[in-house]
Structure 1
């Protein structure tokens, strides 16, 4: 997963504004004008869509070091999703026109941004595949595999998992218990750790 290194945080801050968001506070909504790019310095945000009947479908939860709002790179575009803070969150908000100028002066950051945006598109395609084609066990196993840190620790709660996977909390808990009994993961209060990555992959 491509993460923006903290050494670039001050550069973003010099071009934008630091803003703090409370849990469940909206950052932007579907159909809003897309003018700004956002860097998460602290916290997590939830990306979701609303159906006409008001049902929410969570697409992804983004953590520190991730960038979102890339629709603003296209002129006169509108937001296609709603994004809100999950926990207390600190963002740098940058007018995308200013950011483009900065990227011309910092080639390494430009390459990193392109990699980040490409990966984001690939991840969204994978998320749709998971929602459409996987059963409950496969959804949970895939989420653990694709969302864990390098040390195998999953930095998300079961509630956040259930929202991303379109499953209820009871189902997620039941699958996690089964995976633990099979020796594929281990759990402690508030965290999940991968024990057998190949075993999880074999479920997919």
Structure 2
């Protein structure tokens, strides 16, 4: 199930400014390798959120080869810090190369390992935490992330509508985890949550 019409996606994509060669290369790599990225519609939204919140610190639970970090970095001051996490050294090396070309490398602290373990090394508070890890880890990600957000900080989660698979009568383990996560997100008194129905569903929660 497509969350939004492909024609609408094409229309929005056609409105977006072009010209960043690094982003274009990253998007081409994602297509070649069938690697999941937040994409060129969600990317500018992340940059908007970084600017709107005056974000100086971002923690990414799942960074891949740096696509989302690149968008965040463009909305932050040079003194901003982004902690990236991934299990692949190859992804880290690619990310650092791309981010260096964008002039953002001094902002990046890229950690190899399990994001659910790495985040425990930090007390925060962070201005933004992005959650884009293995879906089975989403409920635990919520429990770990929210206490590490400043009040007014944003917890952003990709794939919360999971291409409509959360509606299946016999949900997979991944779908069950997302359903549990969404229940936590909207049931918590610590955040005000919304789901933005772009791409694969973007969960946005503000810590209160």
Give TM-score, length-normalised by structure 2. 0.34
Give TM-score, length-normalised by structure 1. 0.35
In terms of fraction of residues, the more helix-rich structure is 2
Larger Rg: 1
In terms of fraction of residues, the more strand-rich structure is 1
